Structure 1
Amino acid sequence: MEGPRSPLEAELPQVLDFLNKKLRTDASWSIAAEYPTAFSSNNLHNMRIIADEGSVLSHAVMKPLIIKSPHVIFKVGAIGSVVTDDQHQGQGYSTQIIKDCLKSATEQSCDIAILWTDLFDFYRRMGFELAGSEVSFVIEENFDVPPINLRFSTDNKVSPDAIYRLYAAHSVNSVRTIEETRKFLSIPQTKVYTAWEPNGQLAAYAIEGKGADLGGYIHEWGGSVSKLMALFAFIRAQKDQPYTIICPRHATNLIQALQTKDVTMNHGYLGMIKLVNFDQLAAKIKRAFRAEGIADIVLEKHPNHFVFGVGQDLYTINNETDMVRLLFGPVDFRGLGIFKEETAIKLEKILPLNLWIWGWDSI
């Protein structure tokens, strides 16, 4: 038995074959086409396998992401494609693989790790917790928007430079290159909806689907609110059936605009998050508070608990998972009833931290 370890480059085709058989049995494409930046030779050192006599028994991959936000720049270890061969389940292989991914994330100075799953209890045993915020809107019916002079298209052949320009305007996004955007546009089952100005400039875009995942979900978008609303109305008319738009809680103007339409609004979590390097993250958060003129923020880790608050108004947190939800939400500091009003006002200047990972970055 070998591992957990990184596969050799010569083993990559075998690993992908294992994943395709376990995770993409009905797909006509390789899983590598869905996750072109995760399953590449450049990220081989972040893939983990357990193997025996040349056969892959278990796998997971970690993709480091740099997330920019107004207050903090995060380094996030996104983990996915966790699978163990049916005949070897129940032997702790997935746990070993995940722990090794977390070790790698720590060595690469990630602040947190994140994954997407419905196996909540399994990952809670390793310190992950549902946290962060996601707002989704099910567009039930066609809706009208004020007349706007745009041309709409469903042609996937869009310049990655144009997409990248609008994507980069988001207040919270991951650091990408134009070449990575080009690869993402080629992911199977991806539908690209675009709105164009009369002068030929891209005004708004929306991305639906990502291989076997996110069908019926707009998981990436960019452009001003008015132009996005016009594009969303076009998409609904094109599809002639409900679809869902996913967005971060800090997209307040878009959320308010969507709430005026015939939609179903749902609040959810960004994913399951685990603190990887608390001291590093705490230092970033304290700098963000100081930049807002709040120098007496307390965010400390002790052997058996955390201390959190402002000045002398402090709260003891016994569980790391509770700290995750305080830092990334969803938390109403006033509703907690543990801080003074003036303390809650100060905390809300930075917290919960604006963290969002767009659909193309999920693995």
Structure 2
Amino acid sequence: MEGPRSPESHEWTRLVDFLNANLRQNEQWPITSEYPTALTANNIHNMSIITEDEKIIAHAVLKTLIVKTPHAVFKVGAIGSVITHPEHRQKGYSRKNIEKCIELAQKQECDLVILWTDQFDFYRKMGFELAGFDYNYLLEKSEPVKNNQLRFVSGNNVDPEALQRLYSQHTVHAVRSTEDFRQFLKIPNTHLFTAWNQNNQLLAYAAEGKGADLTNYVHEWAGQVDVLMDLFRYIRNQKNETLTVMVPSHSQNMRRHLEQGATLAHQGFLGMLKIVNTDALLAKIKKAFRAEGFDKIVLEKQESHFVFGFGTDLYTLEHESDLVQLLFGPMNINSLSFVSDDTRYKLSALLPMPLWVWGWDSI
């Protein structure tokens, strides 16, 4: 057994074949086309493999994202495509590859790592915890479009720069290039829907589906909320199936509109998060508090525990999993009855901090 290590360039073809055979054997497209910015030769240095007799038997990949929020900019490492060949499972190889990805994230000064999984207990043993927010709204009934001045188009032949302009208006988003959008538009089973005004100006877009995942899920959208609501109605009517719209917690205006005609199907978590650079992360958050006029916020790691509070009014968290939920949710500072009213008021000015990874960036 050799590894975990990054693949060599001459192993790229074998790696893609391994991933296709173990993750997409029933699909007509290579998995690299689903994750064009993560599973690419340009990102080979962020992949971790284990080999035996020169055969790849396990893999995981890290994709770094710069996530902008209103109060701070976070560097987030997304981990995905974690797989071990069936004949080599239960030997700890996936754990080794994930630990390698975490090490790579630390070397690249990521604040956090995130992954999406249903194997919660497995990842909790490595320090991950369910955190953040995710709201899913069901559009079950067909409804007529309200603004008949809009023109709707189904198709991926859209200027990536126009999409990027709308996307960059989000208060929380990962930094993307125009080329990123160009690659995302090529993902199999990705269906882009757009809304235009009478002057052929793009007002909104919504993406449904992404390769083998997210069918009938609008996992990404941008534009004016009232236009988006009509666009969602158009998609629902076109597909003639129940449509689920994924919404971050901080998109309160969108959530209010959806709550008027949709069913809240699920209030869940953004994903499983792990802090990989505690000092840097806490420094960013304290800086954000100072910018809001709260210069006595305490967020510190002390030996094996964490201290938070305001001034001399301090409290202790024993576990990092509690800290990540305090910082990004779903822990609500106002629900902590043991914290004084004044400290709760000050901490709730920014906590939980908004964090979101839009669908095309997830791996």
Letter of the structure 2 residue corresponding to residue 353 of structure 1:
M
In 1, the alpha carbon distance for the partners of 2:104 and 2:307 equals 27
Letter of the structure 2 residue corresponding to residue 64 of structure 1:
T
**Aligned-residue RMSD, C-alpha:** 1.0
> Which TM-score applies when normalising by structure 2?
0.98
Per the alignment, residue 318 of structure 2 pairs with 318
Q: Do 1:139 and 1:264's aligned partners in 2 also have CA atoms closer than 8 Å?
A: no
Structure 1: give runs of 5+ residues left out of the alignment: none
1:302 Cα deviation after fit: 1.1
Per the alignment, residue 286 of structure 2 pairs with 286
How has the CA–CA distance of structure 1 residues 145 and 257 changed in structure 2, closer, same or farther, with 3 Å as cutoff?
Answer: farther
SS across alignment from 1:163:
helix
How has the CA–CA distance of structure 1 residues 281 and 262 changed in structure 2, closer, same or farther, with 3 Å as cutoff?
Answer: closer
1:154 equivalent to 2:154? Answer yes
1:148 Cα deviation after fit: 4.5
SS across alignment from 2:82:
strand
1:151-230 equivalences under 5 Å are: 151-230=151-230
Q: Do 1:141 and 1:263's aligned partners in 2 also have CA atoms closer than 8 Å?
A: no
In 2, the alpha carbon distance for the partners of 1:222 and 1:319 equals 37
How has the CA–CA distance of structure 1 residues 109 and 158 changed in structure 2, closer, same or farther, with 3 Å as cutoff?
Answer: same
Per the alignment, residue 143 of structure 1 pairs with 143
In 2, the alpha carbon distance for the partners of 1:146 and 1:360 equals 28
In 2, the alpha carbon distance for the partners of 1:340 and 1:303 equals 24
Q: Do 1:3 and 1:49's aligned partners in 2 also have CA atoms closer than 8 Å?
A: yes
Q: Do 2:6 and 2:46's aligned partners in 1 also have CA atoms closer than 8 Å?
A: yes
> 1:21-58: CA deviations, max 9, x gaps?
00001111101000011111221100000001220010
Letter of the structure 2 residue corresponding to residue 213 of structure 1:
D
1:326 Cα deviation after fit: 0.4
Stretch moving more, 127-136 or 262-271: 262-271
Per the alignment, residue 272 of structure 1 pairs with 272
Structure 2: give runs of 5+ residues left out of the alignment: none
Per the alignment, residue 235 of structure 2 pairs with 235
Per the alignment, residue 14 of structure 2 pairs with 14
1:1-363 equivalences under 5 Å are: 1-144=1-144, 146-363=146-363
1:265 Cα deviation after fit: 3.9
In 1, the alpha carbon distance for the partners of 2:253 and 2:265 equals 15
Letter of the structure 2 residue corresponding to residue 253 of structure 1:
N
> 1:331-353: CA deviations, max 9, x gaps?
22111212222221211221111
1:118 Cα deviation after fit: 0.4
In 1, the alpha carbon distance for the partners of 2:185 and 2:343 equals 45
1:194 Cα deviation after fit: 0.6
In 1, the alpha carbon distance for the partners of 2:353 and 2:264 equals 26
In 2, the alpha carbon distance for the partners of 1:338 and 1:203 equals 47
Letter of the structure 2 residue corresponding to residue 182 of structure 1:
R
SS across alignment from 1:260:
helix
Q: Do 2:4 and 2:49's aligned partners in 1 also have CA atoms closer than 8 Å?
A: yes
Letter of the structure 1 residue corresponding to residue 22 of structure 2:
K
1:9 Cα deviation after fit: 1.2
Q: Do 2:65 and 2:78's aligned partners in 1 also have CA atoms closer than 8 Å?
A: yes
1:146 Cα deviation after fit: 3.5
> 1:262-319: CA deviations, max 9, x gaps?
4234210000000000000011001000000000000010111100111122210000
In 2, the alpha carbon distance for the partners of 1:157 and 1:70 equals 32
Stretch moving more, 279-288 or 333-342: 333-342
In 2, the alpha carbon distance for the partners of 1:169 and 1:148 equals 25
In 2, the alpha carbon distance for the partners of 1:224 and 1:116 equals 29
In 1, the alpha carbon distance for the partners of 2:325 and 2:112 equals 12
In 1, the alpha carbon distance for the partners of 2:211 and 2:335 equals 40
Stretch moving more, 138-147 or 127-136: 138-147
> 1:93-149: CA deviations, max 9, x gaps?
111111111011000000000000000000000000000000110111123453341
> 1:200-251: CA deviations, max 9, x gaps?
1111100001101111100010001110011011111111110100010000
SS across alignment from 1:353:
coil
In 1, the alpha carbon distance for the partners of 2:139 and 2:91 equals 44
SS across alignment from 1:253:
helix
In 2, the alpha carbon distance for the partners of 1:97 and 1:73 equals 27
Q: Do 1:143 and 1:261's aligned partners in 2 also have CA atoms closer than 8 Å?
A: no
How has the CA–CA distance of structure 1 residues 301 and 211 changed in structure 2, closer, same or farther, with 3 Å as cutoff?
Answer: same
Q: Do 2:135 and 2:264's aligned partners in 1 also have CA atoms closer than 8 Å?
A: no
